[in-house]
Amino acid sequence: MTQLLGAALRGTGSCLPARVVPNDEFTEVLNLDTTDEWIRTRTGIRERRFAGSGESSATLGTDAARKAIESAGLTPADIDLIVCATVTPDLMCPATANLIQAALGCRHVPAFDIAAACSGFLYALSVGAQYVRTGAAKHALVIGAEVLTRTVDFTDRNSCILFGDGAGAVVLSGTPVLTAGVRTIRLYSDGSRQELIQVPSRVTPNPPPGPPQLQRLDYMRISGREVFRFAVTRMVELIEQARADARELGLSGIDVLIPHQVNQRIIDAALESTEFPADRVVVNLDKYGNTSAASVPIALDEALRAGRCKPGDTVLLVAFGGGLTWSSALVTL
Ligand code: UT7
């Protein structure tokens, strides 16, 4: 019988592109019919980062991973598994995780991508945690890396103002202490609502007629209002469920909540409904917008480095997005 281990969160890292894009740029440079005031009051976003020339999910993910490995006190040679969550891979093949493996100089360990949109990091974390808990990997590198701004339609004011680029990473390590690290992970999906958030690919079954250069095949499309309602409902459910999980595990409660960074109004509505104290919630969407699979690990890394959470704290990570997917993880630091 396999002796289960704990999956401790041993290190974190993040990487944001240098280029800051304030709200005004959509009006002044892109001539979009929007305002800084609308974007700030309807979303909470003030600015976001855009990947520049030479930057990609793989390069941002590599930088975040390097920092996570360093903060874990390890070297790339110690890593036994690489899982990268992304819906904006550099290539359809090979996986972004392979590119990161090569850039870091890791051993010939398993490396693969997971596509679960904004829930991707928590899906990847569940895989990393299972490898570590069963002893199949001693140190698992789990990354969320995205360059979603390369998929948005800059003439669509409903969506293009929401997104930013970036990457976050964690190292999970096996520990005999079963009460440390990842305690519970809950993952859900509902493919019947797939049309609410889509980024078509070049291998779509229904390519429109016409020359490829005129086809706006891979632009993201979202139904913002419907996603808003879905996000609030699911975030409320996930918080309530995590509270019950925490009680069952004998934890004193949830010390810090790190939600997917989509829209301040979604977070506020969920907090109001669950009466979760706002001062225990980590929010950085004002600086980075929605970075999809990267949003939770970036916020986690920043929160740890800023002392917003400390060893012994129980942190609730919550995410939701395309699929539709929704997910949570309770982690004791
Ligand atoms: O992570 C998953 C992906 N994320 C999402 O799908 C985002 C979730 N949804 C949201 O964050 C919000 O629904 C939005 C920010 C997208 C939209 O906010 P809203 O309060 O739900 O606005 P709305 O869609 O109800 O639109 C209200 C009005 C509309 O004008 P009319 O029809 O009332 O004349 C929109 O055309 O706001 C208009 N509008 C804008 N106006 C100025 C939409 N985007 C903009 C904009 N600037 N950027």
DSSP states of 138-150: SEEEEEEEEEGGG
H or E, element range at 79:
none
Spacing, Cα 276 to ligand 1 middle (Å): 26
* Residues 235-276 pLDDT 10s: 999 999 999 999 999 999 999 999 999 999 999 999 999 999
Residue pointed to by tokens 């129980």: 314
Spacing, Cα 158 to ligand 1 middle (Å): 5
Question: Where are the strands (E) in 238-281, listed by range?
Answer: 256-259
Could you name the CATH architecture of 6-177?
A: 3-Layer(aba) Sandwich (3.40)
Kindly state the average pLDDT of the residues 28-35: 93
Domain with CATH 3.40.47.10 in the chain: 6-177, 182-332
Mutate to test the pocket of ligand 1, among 42, 151, 199, 220 (most ligand atoms within 8 A of CB): 42
Kindly state the average pLDDT of the residues 286-293: 98
From the centroid of its chain, how far is CA 74?
23
Share of the chain above pLDDT 70, in %: 95
Q: Please work out whether the CB of residue 12 comes within 6 Å of at least one atom of ligand 1.
A: no
Atom of ligand 1 nearest to the CA of 292: 1
Q: Please work out whether the CB of residue 321 comes within 6 Å of at least one atom of ligand 1.
A: yes
* Residues 39-94 pLDDT 10s: 999 999 999 999 999 999 999 999 999 999 999 999 999 999 999 999 999 999 99
Spacing, Cα 253 to ligand 1 middle (Å): 35
Q: Please work out whether the CB of residue 161 comes within 6 Å of at least one atom of ligand 1.
A: yes
* Residues 300-323 pLDDT 10s: 999 999 999 999 999 999 999 999
- Mean predicted lDDT score pLDDT of the chain: 94
Of the candidates 166, 157, 191, 196, the one whose C-alpha atom is nearest the C-alpha of residue 57 is 166
| Residue 4, pLDDT score | 81
Distance (Å, whole) CA 100 – CA 103: 5
The DSSP output letter for 290 is: B
Distance (Å, whole) CA 308 – CA 148: 28
The dihedral over CA atoms of 180, 181, 184, 189, expressed in degrees to the nearest 10, equals 180
Write b or e for each residue in 145-169: b if 16 or more Cβ atoms lie within 10 A of its Cβ, otherwise e: bbbbbebbeeeebebbbbbbbbbbb
Residue of the nearest CA to atom 16 in ligand 1? 224
Residue 3 pLDDT > 80, yes or no?
A: no
Distance (Å, whole) CA 131 – CA 140: 8
Catalytic residue list contains 118: yes
Kindly state the average pLDDT of the residues 162-181: 95
Which residues are CB-contacts of 4 (< 8 A; sequence separation ≥ 6)?
A: 133, 134, 178
**Amino acid occupying residue 27:** T
The 3-state DSSP class for residue 82 equals strand
Atom of ligand 1 nearest to the CA of 223: 6
| Residue 66, pLDDT score | 98
| Residue 2, pLDDT score | 60
Cβ–Cβ < 8 Å for 19, 147: no
Cβ–Cβ < 8 Å for 111, 133: no
Cis peptide before 249 (omega within 30 of 0): no
Report the CATH fold assignment for 182-332: Peroxisomal Thiolase; Chain A, domain 1 (3.40.47)
Atom of ligand 1 nearest to the CA of 222: 6
The DSSP output letter for 208 is: P
The DSSP output letter for 163 is: B
- Tell me how crowded residue 49 is: count the other CB atoms within 10 A of its CB: 23
| Residue 179, pLDDT score | 87
Kindly state the average pLDDT of the residues 277-302: 98
